[in-house]
Structure 1
């Protein structure tokens, strides 16, 4: 499930609690739906919507309180407790800051109240993406060293894939692949002693011994932003990287974890229009 779908589920969950339950939203339930810590979820929410989660919940409380004041005879003290305020005084202060008038004044027929609408998050976007927490990955395969020139590196990587296919490396990798689901990784950078090394590897996730002539890389447990790229490769993945560089990185400035970036190629027909590949960006889940 992509982030937009999860966020809409959480928005619906919050709305249910605000309108039907006189209690605070459950942070643990939100973290469960989001698939990450509550603190990290709040950061993503803020990035995506330009408002903090706490502000959104507060604005919705005061919007709904305004509806109640105009449409019911509920006492102000009852409204204050319904929407989680410690006292009528604190509720009145918050209400006036949001609406510009007191709760008592809001009951006048001519009074106009501010409305902060429920978020409607579109589930349609060019690239679906989600946050996934993955366990340690043990990758085995072959690698080449890269230069400092991006254009030259692109040519070398394409040539490397062709060589691996022609020389039977792909067949060897597929035979030892124990990942779930199965697929081949393209790995940028090194790990461990090779930290910072300019290398590119073609590998699979496996529990088998390292074959002769192959190398091993172990990536620690980490949090990843995972992007689905649909279409024939390599163009689908190239378009995915372009989207990340031009739009996503500026819109969601997560801190990059000390871990290589990955491409993942599913076990399917790579030239089909519905073929799925992925880009994995390692990110830091800060408290």
Structure 2
């Protein structure tokens, strides 16, 4: 599957650059979609952020260097991108529960995080209800909140006055969707704009923002079960089960939750 190939290529790039700078834009080129999307996909599939994976791999290799060579702690720190022996020692002890100065004592237990590889796992134990929908462009208006670096699917706790916002939105004349939408759009700087919104052609109310959603093909997944747990579980299965075995990949467009139907809408394109 193409997406598994891309994940393995990304790991290869990361592994080749553990002792120098890892350029997020190179990973964008490998995945062929936005930094926000590939970070989220990686996190859903592995349970780790890319930053966590890089940190654990660097500190694993640093431990090997300390055991197998006569390198000074400072030299090892610099090799793996740390600006000082102190910052390296704190990170090292946080992972291995022992300072780097003690590593060469033979009785010291250390943690090892091996290189990741990806392959298809056919489970088949849980069915997923989905449909492919082509939808024309439409406009949403709502309350927007910017998040610099989000690892989750959506951030429902960003809005302190959620009920009041929804009451205001329900006064608008609906168009493409009858109810409240939660919209996520990734930005070039790696951050995310989150919206609690409504699809409407009415003028944008004061204090709210407007977003044009382009014409798009969507994979739409039904969510059943207690919320928000069922929502997060479904989202994870989309990335870990559905995408790797489908002929689709993420398109560079907003993602949505339709609160009225309890559905996840993910923009897709053919591989």
TM-score normalized with structure 1 length: 0.49
Aligned match of 1:283: 267
Check 1:112–1:282 CA distance in 2 against 1; reply closer, same or farther (3 A cut): closer
- 1:6-155 equivalent positions in 2, closer than 5 A: 6-18=6-18, 22-123=19-120, 125=122
Q: Report how far residue 35 of structure 1 moved.
A: 1.0
Q: Does structure 1 conserve the Cα–Cα contact (< 8 Å) formed by 2:133 and 2:219? A: no
Q: Deviations over 1:67-125 (max 9, x none)?
A: 11111111111100110001011001111111111111011122221111211211455
The match for 2:234 is 249
The answer to whether the 8 Å contact 1:80/1:91 transfers is yes
Q: Is 1:195 matched up with 2:176?
A: yes
**C-alpha distance in 2 between matches for 1:8 and 1:29:** 14
Q: Relative contact order: is structure 1 or structure 2 higher (C-alpha 8 Å, sep ≥ 6)?
A: 2
The DSSP-based 3-state class of the residue aligned with 2:266 is strand
Contact 1:5 1:123 in 2 (8 A): no
C-alpha change, 1:123 and 1:37, in structure 2 (3 Å) is: same
Q: Is the 8 A contact 2:219 2:267 kept in 1?
A: yes
Q: Residues 190 and 196 of structure 1 are in contact (CA less than 8 Å); yes or no, is this contact kept in structure 2?
A: no
DSSP 3-state at the match of 1:282: strand
Check the 8 A contact 2:136/2:216 in 1, yes or no: no
Q: CA deviation at 1:257?
A: 4.0
Q: Structure 1 residues 115, 35: CA separation in 2 closer, same or farther (over 3 Å shift)?
A: same
| Structure 2 residues not aligned, in runs of 5+ | 125-131, 139-173, 179-212, 240-253, 259-264
Q: Which has the higher helix share?
A: 1
Please give the per-residue CA displacement for 1:137-167, whole angstroms capped at 9, x wherever unaligned.
Answer: xxxxxxxxxxxxxxxxxxxxxxxxxxxxxxx
Q: 1:47 to 1:258 in 2, by over 3 A?
A: closer
Shift in CA distance, 15/191, structure 1 to aligned 2, threshold 3 Å: closer
Return closer, same or farther for 1:194/1:69 CA change in 2, 3 Å cut-off.
Answer: same
Q: Give the direction of change, closer, same or farther, for the CA distance of 1:195–1:221 in structure 2 (3 Å limit).
A: closer
Give the superposition deviation at 1:225.
6.2
User: Taking structure 1 as reference, are residues 283 and 187 closer, same or farther at Cα in structure 2, changes over 3 Å only?
Assistant: closer
The separation in 2 between residues aligned to 1:85 and 1:36, in whole angstroms, is 29
Give the secondary-structure state (helix, strand or coil) at the position aligned to 2:25.
Answer: helix
1:63–1:114 Cα contact (<8 Å) kept? yes
**Contact 1:60 1:116 (8 Å CA) reproduced:** yes
Closer/same/farther in 2, CA of residues 14 and 89 from structure 1, 3 Å limit: same
User: How far did 1:2 drift?
Assistant: 2.7
Secondary structure at 2:53 match in 1: helix
Residue 116 of structure 2: SS of its match in structure 1?
coil
